[in-house]
Structures are given as structure tokens and as C-alpha cells.
Amino acid sequence: MAPKKVTKKGTEGKKKRAKKDPNAPKKPLSSYMFFAKDKRAEILKKQPTLKSDIGKVGKMIGEEWAKLSSSQKMTYQKKAEQEKIRYQREMSLYNKKK
């Protein structure tokens, strides 16, 4: 194992990630993630053999998302906006408790 380089700030190496608070509210889902959640269940119902091929399912979902018109995407965008509002509300309560 090669010795670690020493810089002015200390040793170079892996940086430690801050631990997440388990009580913190979950981040909001995007409009695409709401769509993917719905479509994934639908695709796996039609083709149960794809259950083990996550990449293929993800690619199919991405292609379908790209084909959607903006008016069809609007329903998922509304869900995402509501989710964002929920997250902001919960974060403000969470930060007050800290």
C-alpha cells in the first residue's frame, strides 16, 4: 500500500460523509419518479420475467417518459409539487425541533 500524501489540510484519503438523521423527513420525489413508480408496477404485471432485469425496466420507463406529452406529464408534475410542499412543511417543523 502506497503512503498517503500529506497536504496542508492533512492527509489525502477518503472523506467521511455526514451521517443522515433517521428522524429527518424524506426528500420529495420528482415527477419522473412518480411516473416510474406507476409504470414499474404496470410493466412488471405485464412481463413478470423482467423482474430481475432492473436496467431494462428502467430503460423502458425512460423511453415512455420521453414520449409523454407535456399535458400528460402535468399530472405527475402536480404530484411532485405537492410532495415538495409537504417536504418544505416537514423540514420547517424538523428544523424548529433541532
Residue 70 lies in a domain: yes
**pLDDT tens digits, 35-85:** 999 999 999 999 999 888 999 999 999 999 999 999 999 999 999 999 999
Task: Indicate which CATH number applies to the domain containing 32.
Answer: 1.10.30.10
Is residue 35 in some structural domain?
A: yes
Residue 1 lies in a domain: no
4 part of a folded domain: no
At CB < 8 A and 24+ separation, what contacts does 2-10 make?
Answer: none
Please tell me the predicted confidence (pLDDT) of residue 2. 61
Boundaries of domain holding 80: 26-97
pLDDT(12) > 70: no
Is residue 42 one of the residues assigned to a domain? yes
Q: Which amino acid is at 30?
A: S
Residue 5 inside a domain? The answer is no
Q: Is residue 73 part of a domain?
A: yes
- Confidence category of residue 98, pLDDT binned at 50, 70, 90: confident
Please count the structural domains in the chain: 1
Report yes or no on 43 lying in a domain: yes
